[in-house]
Structure 1
Amino acid sequence: MTTPQILSFSLIGLTVATFAWGRFRYDLVSLVALLGAVAIGIVPVKRAFTGFTSDVVVIIACALVISAGIARSGVVEATLAPGLRKLKTLQTQVPAMTAATALLSIVTKNVGALTILMPTAIKVGRQEGSSVSALLMPMSFISLIAGLSTLVGTSTNIIVSQVREEAIGRPFRMFDFAPVGLSLTVIGLIFLSFAWRILPRDRQGSQDLGDATAEAFFSTEATVPDDLPDTLNTIADLELGKDGVLIGGIVGADGRRRDAMPDSELVPGEVLVLQGEDAALAKMFDRLPLGKVRADKDVEKGQANEEVRSIEAVVQPDSQLIGNSARRARLQDEYGVKLLAVSRSSERITQRLREITIRAGDVLLVQAGENSLPDFLKSLSLLPLADRTVSLGNPRKRFGPIAIVIAAIALIAAGVVPVAAGFFGAAVLIIVIGALPIREAYGALEPEVLILIGALTPISEAVHQTGGTALIASGLAHLLMGISPILVLGTLLVVAMAAAPFLHNAPTVLILGPIAVLVAQRLHLNPDPFLMAVATGAGCDFLTPVGHQCNTLVMGPGGYRFGDYAKLGAPLSLMVIIVGVPLIAWFWPLTG
């Protein structure tokens, strides 16, 4: 071995050992590894940052933004809600939620699909006769399998496509992964629809501050418009219960209050006093043509390009607002802040929003220009709560993101635009049409994953350029010479599957992908099925909560322990090996 090969192998070995140790963050380890590669000279300074500008990083970042835009639109929840209300047992809930996760993982990145559907699954799981822990792990596992169906469904496919382009000059196309991925998805759905019974059902998942505040009941109001549809004549016609919203009363234009009965007539100009969770109220406003709080007066902004934000803040004991109402405090006139709703612990508020006497401990949902919020909160002694996306008060573009994604996928499939350009355009357009504020777009990015891939890509290229990849491939080819090609294929899939929990799925493909190509070439076989095997094995980490962010994402809410993953994951991994290897060989011939 040459000195550069020894250095590159030593660095890779040290990096892998540190990953396996688990003492430090993956992204930090990868950055230190890149720094080390530059310091010892195996990665030239000019090539050190090429990984961060690669198509892989661009596609993953854009896919995450697109997923966030679709999640914010609420179209997925609205589509699923009618059907989910009819599902009362785990026997029907698990197949339904896993199928929905699978479908969404095919068209968006798998972690984005899981993020979109997790809140719905948690609500379903908290119903009587259900279980959050029985729902979330099957959803995570099926998102990993279904993500294998398209180029953008998972990072492993994107990376392996880049490896193919560097090796033979052509990347995989958008739906080249579909035959194997969709077949495994169908089999996985059938398996998980029955095997979820292996999982414990009595685990209590963790709940962060954002989840807790999301379940708080807010009091707000809505105005009956002049041009009501003919189908909306009474309170019953609004079907508020469909969204989980309660009505506390009706206030006429003259200020007089009357009880809200199901047969109470809806009179234009009257105000409905409503209560519900933030998301429930937002869903109701999206569905019904009711006027929001002071919709006639926009929030003042210091600058034209200033973003309007809705946040939650708790009233502290020394706040000047205590004992005042919103009307007396003149929040919008004095501070440029609009009060959207109020939440009070253990008490149902039935007054109009502007007449509520504010108390210490009340949670106010306010909307203002982001530059004016800090001074407003400080001057009135209000404490901002968890940093989460607030639905009420934020306009949602229901079908815009979906239409943009469909158009982008159609253009990519037709070969009109490359994948990176298509997804970049889709992500930008989703932001431009207002479907996703730029702040939330930044928040949707997963910097640890992007840094991990961007930092390790130059190191992987260095191993290849020093001849290290060829050396390993030559040794493997010698060992595997004379063995049936399908066993060689299975060996690579199992190695990738075994390495993913320790290396993370992206580094596994970066290291094993070039080796798989050279092994195939040395054995005079078609490299495509071997690349598919590496992508499939690395993408199917069902044994631990650390190999893929989807598994990590569900660990806390599902109340899972480390060993729970292997209970369901081991038989599923075995199924992928037994079924996946012949499927890959069938759709991607080993010779030719």
Structure 2
Amino acid sequence: LANTVEDNDEVNDEDDSEAKQARIKQARVEREDDIATGDVRLMEAVITPSSRLIGLTTNRLNLRERYGLNVVAIARQGHRLTQRVSDIRFRSGDILLVQAYESNLMTTLQTLGCLPLAERELSLGRQKSLWLAGGLFLGAIGLVLSGLLAPPVALVGCAVAMVVFQLLDASEAYQAIDWSVIVLLAAMIPVGQALEATGGADLIAAQILGVAQGQPNWVALTIILIGSMVLSNVVNNAAAAVLVAPIALGLSVQLGLSADAALMGVAVGTSCAFLTPIGHQSNALVMEPGGYRFGDYWRLGLPLSVVVVIVAVPVILWMWS
């Protein structure tokens, strides 16, 4: 009896082994068929600053189980990382080589906050939806230009209308809001008001006035423009504009410079953050994919800033003399 049981166990083990090998072969054939028919796709994607991946690993996120996404390789600052992919914590700007089914690859990347880099065919929805979205945006711009609505009211209304007409859902609208900029402005606006209320703006303006006193207006405008440009490379450009605007207004009164010209100098200067990767989101976004270092920006940014000053100062004085 014991011998019979042992013989049966050996037969069962052989059957289980054969069945297991058959299942493995079948799964391998199915994967090969999927790849051959183009169902599985490899793509490069960059992690954006607002991505939910930042600071986490593939094991922590369960990307394969939750999203059907495999991370094949990771590159950082132009170099491929050699550690185990499952142990690497994602950073903003990392380049991921991902594998997933083509049907949900784009949706998954959008959900995770990644931008695809490989050439692809994007489906942007029905043509009717595109025309409706464009019409809503142009309508908002028309209301602003006609003076019927203020820009914040018109553009926020346009965004709400896109949600109402189901051109995008509420979660996509919520994710599109750059909360870091909103929080930064909420913190910096009181700082600008404090500078003005305590006389700090007048004090800084007085120091600049001592340098620009007796000089032509273009000298004062150049100082305002360069000061705004330098500050915007250190803090967010919107916050820099909030801080510099009161100083520029005080300086314009003392020197007899047009207030419009002074404010345009601030606007142009704070919009030209070319010297560092932290001055604007666009600079930071291309830093990791391009393999740039912090010191690479000023090499092209400094000559470009000089060109902006040379062109902007005479144009501003000509338009708002």
Aligned match of 1:501 in 233, 239, 247? 233
SS of the residue corresponding to residue 167 of structure 2 reads: coil
Q: Indicate the residue corresponding to 1:436 in structure 2.
A: 168
1:450-469 matches, cutoff 5 A: 450-469=182-201
User: Which amino acid letter does the alignment assign opposite residue 281 of structure 2?
Assistant: Q
Q: Tell me if 1:526 matches 2:277.
A: no
- Indicate the SS of the match to 1:503: coil
Q: Separation in 2 of the partners of 1:565 and 1:210? A: 20
Residues 1:417 and 2:149 are matched in the alignment: yes
TM-score by structure 1 length? 0.36
**Which residue identity does 1:412 align to in structure 2?**
V
How far does the alpha carbon of each residue in 1:196-255 deviate from its partner, in whole angstroms, 9 at most, with x for none? Answer: xxxxxx956999789544x6453x6xxxxxxxxxxxxxxxxxxxxxxxxxxxxxxxxxxx
> What secondary structure is seen at the aligned counterpart in 2 of 1:398?
helix
Secondary structure (helix, strand or coil) at the match of 2:211 reads helix
CA shift digits 1:457-478 (9 cap, x unpaired): 1121122112222233233323
Give distance in 2, aligned partners of 1:575 and 1:389.
Answer: 32
The partner residue of 1:490 within 222, 247, 250 is: 222
* CA shift in 2, pair 1:209/1:547, >3 Å: closer
d(CA) in 1 for partners of 2:146, 2:113? 41
Q: Give matches, 1:109-258, under 5 Å.
A: 212-213=97-98, 216=100, 218=102
Aligned to 2:290: 558
Question: Given the alignment, which residue of 542, 564, 567 partners 2:274?
Answer: 542
CA 528–204 in structure 1, closer or farther in 2 if over 3 Å, else same: farther
* Residue deviations 1:50-82 (CA, integer Å, cap 9, x gap): xxxxxxxxxxxxxxxxxxxxxxxxxxxxxxxxx
Quickly say closer, same or farther: Cα 1:388–1:489, change in 2 above 3 A: closer
1:573 equivalenced with 2:305 (yes/no): yes
Distance 1:389 1:504, change over 3 A: closer
- One-letter identity of the residue aligned with 1:482: G
Give per-residue Cα distances to partners, 1:407-451, cap 9 Å, x unaligned.
100110011111111111111011111111111111111111110
Percent identity for Structure 1 against Structure 2: 34
Using a 3 Å threshold, how does the CA distance of structure 1 residues 519 and 405 change in structure 2: closer, same or farther? Answer: same
Q: Does 1:477 align with 2:209?
A: yes
Following superposition, the deviation at residue 311 of structure 1 comes to 5.1
The secondary structure found in structure 2 opposite 1:550 is: helix
Distance in 1 (alpha carbons) for counterparts of 2:101 and 2:136: 34
Tell me the matched-pair count: 232
Can you give the 5+ residue segments of structure 2 that lack an aligned partner in the other structure? 1-42, 47-76, 81-90
CA contact (8 A) 1:210 1:386 kept: no
Structure-2 change in CA distance of 1:485 and 1:208 (3 Å):
closer
Indicate yes or no: 2:319 matched with 1:587: yes
AA partner of residue 398 (structure 1): L
**Do the aligned residues in 1 keep the contact of 2:274 with 2:301 (CA within 8 Å)?**
yes
Query: So what's the TM-score if we normalise by structure 2?
Result: 0.64
Q: Distance in 1 between matches of 2:256 and 2:122?
A: 61
Provide structure 1 residue ranges, at least 5 long, that are not aligned to the other structure.
1-121, 127-131, 133-201, 221-276, 280-309, 313-384
Contact 1:401–1:430 (CA<8 Å) still a contact in 2? yes
Q: Distance in 1 between matches of 2:122 and 2:225?
A: 47
Q: Contact conserved, 1:542 with 1:565, CA < 8 A, in 2? A: yes
| Cα deviation digits, residues 18-73 of structure 1 (max 9, x gap) | xxxxxxxxxxxxxxxxxxxxxxxxxxxxxxxxxxxxxxxxxxxxxxxxxxxxxxxx
Kept in 2: contact 1:543–1:565 (CA 8 A): yes
Mapped pair 1:402 → 2:97:
no
Kindly tell me: are residues 469 and 204 of structure 1, through their superposed partners in 2, closer, same or farther at Cα, counting changes over 3 Å? same
Q: Which has the larger radius of gyration?
A: 2
Aligned to 2:248: 516
Counterpart secondary structure, 2:274: coil
One-letter code aligned to 1:424: V
Counterparts of 1:394 and 1:562, CA distance in 2? 35
Kept in 1, the 8 Å contact 2:78–2:288? The answer is no
* CA spacing shift, 1:393–1:567, aligned 2, 3 Å: closer
Are the counterparts in 1 of residues 275 and 302 from structure 2 also a CA contact under 8 Å? Answer: yes
- State which of 432, 436, 445 in structure 1 corresponds to 2:177: 445
Contact map agreement 2:144 2:150 (CA 8 A) in 1: yes
**Counterparts of 1:456 and 1:521 in 2: how far apart (Å)?**
24
Contact 1:412 1:419 in 2 (8 A): yes
CA separation of 1:410 and 1:474: change in aligned 2, threshold 3 A: same
Deviations 1:497-518 (A, max 9, x none): 1122223322321221101001
Check conservation: 1:463, 1:469, Cα contact below 8 A. yes
Counterpart CA distance in 1 for 2:251 and 2:92 is: 47
Distance 1:410 1:217, change over 3 A: same
Please tell me the residue identity of whatever aligns with 2:189. Answer: T
Q: What does 1:67-78 correspond to in 2, within 5 Å?
A: none
Cα distance in 1 between the residues matched to 2:313 and 2:226: 10
Q: Deviations over 1:137-188 (max 9, x none)?
A: xxxxxxxxxxxxxxxxxxxxxxxxxxxxxxxxxxxxxxxxxxxxxxxxxxxx
Flag the structure with higher helix content.
2
> Greater relative contact order (Cα 8 A, min sep 6): structure 1 or 2?
1
1:278/1:392 contact within 8 Å kept: no
1-structure distance, mates of 2:94, 2:236: 29
Which deviations, in whole Å up to 9, do the C-alpha atoms of 1:238-293 show, x marking residues without a partner? Answer: xxxxxxxxxxxxxxxxxxxxxxxxxxxxxxxxxxxxxxx845xxxxxxxxxxxxxx
